[in-house]
Amino acid sequence: MTRSESPGSRDPDALIRRAGDRGNPDFDQHFLVDDRVVDRIPGYLPDTADRSHILEIGGGPGVLTDRLLAVADHVTVIERDPTFAAHLREEFADAIDADRLTVIEGDALEVDLPDATACVSNLPYSASSEIAFRLLPLDIPLVLMFQQEFAERMVAAVGEDDYGRLSVSAQHYADCEIVESVPNTAFDPQPAVQSALVRLMPRKPEYTVADEEFFLRFVKAIFTQRRKTIRNAIRNTAHISGLDDADAVVDAADEDLLGRRAGNVAPAEFAALAQTAVEHGFDDSDDG
In this structure, the strands spanning 118-122 and 101-105 are unpaired
Consult the annotation and say whether 122 binds a ligand. Answer: yes
* Region 260-270 average pLDDT: 97
Above 70 in pLDDT, residue 25? no
Please state which CATH class domain 12-202 belongs to. alpha beta
Residue-range domain boundaries for the chain:
12-202, 212-287
Consult the annotation and say whether 53 binds a ligand. Answer: no
**What whole-number percentage of the chain has pLDDT above 90?**
85
Rounded to whole angstroms, the maximal C-alpha distance in the chain is 70
Residue 99: left (phi > 0), alpha (psi -120 to 50), or beta? Answer: left
pLDDT tier at 48, thresholds 50, 70, 90? very high
Consult the annotation and say whether 39 binds a ligand. Answer: no
Residue range 71-81, pLDDT digits in tens:
999 999 999 99
Residues 244, 280: Cα–Cα separation, whole Å: 9
Residues 266, 159: Cα–Cα separation, whole Å: 8
Above 90 in pLDDT, residue 255? yes
Residue range 164-192, pLDDT digits in tens:
999 999 999 999 999 999 999 999 888 88
Sign of CA dihedral 274, 275, 278, 280: negative
- Specify whether the CB–CB gap between 20 and 26 falls below 8 A: no
Above 80 in pLDDT, residue 21? no
- Specify whether the CB–CB gap between 180 and 40 falls below 8 A: yes
Residue 26: per-residue pLDDT = 58
Above 80 in pLDDT, residue 2? no
Consult the annotation and say whether 32 binds a ligand. Answer: yes
Residue 288: per-residue pLDDT = 44
Which residues does residue 176 pair with via DSSP β-bridges, in sequence order?
200
CA atoms within 13 A on the CB side of 147: 14
Fold of domain 212-287: Helicase, Ruva Protein; domain 3 (1.10.8)
Instruction: Provide the CA 181 distance to its chain's centre, in angstroms.
Output: 16
Residue 7: left (phi > 0), alpha (psi -120 to 50), or beta? Answer: beta
pLDDT tier at 1, thresholds 50, 70, 90? very low
CA nearest 179: which of 45, 38, 63? 45
The whole-chain average pLDDT of the chain stands at: 93
Long-range contacts of 151-160 (CB under 8 A, 24+ apart): 151/178, 151/195, 151/196, 151/197, 151/198, 152/178, 152/196, 154/198, 155/198, 158/263, 158/264, 158/265, 158/266, 158/267, 159/263, 159/264
* Region 82-91 average pLDDT: 95
Residue range 194-252, pLDDT digits in tens:
999 999 999 999 999 999 999 999 999 999 999 999 999 999 999 999 999 999 999 99
Q: Which alpha helices (H) appear in 109-164, and where do they start and end?
A: 128-135, 148-155
- Specify whether the CB–CB gap between 173 and 149 falls below 8 A: no
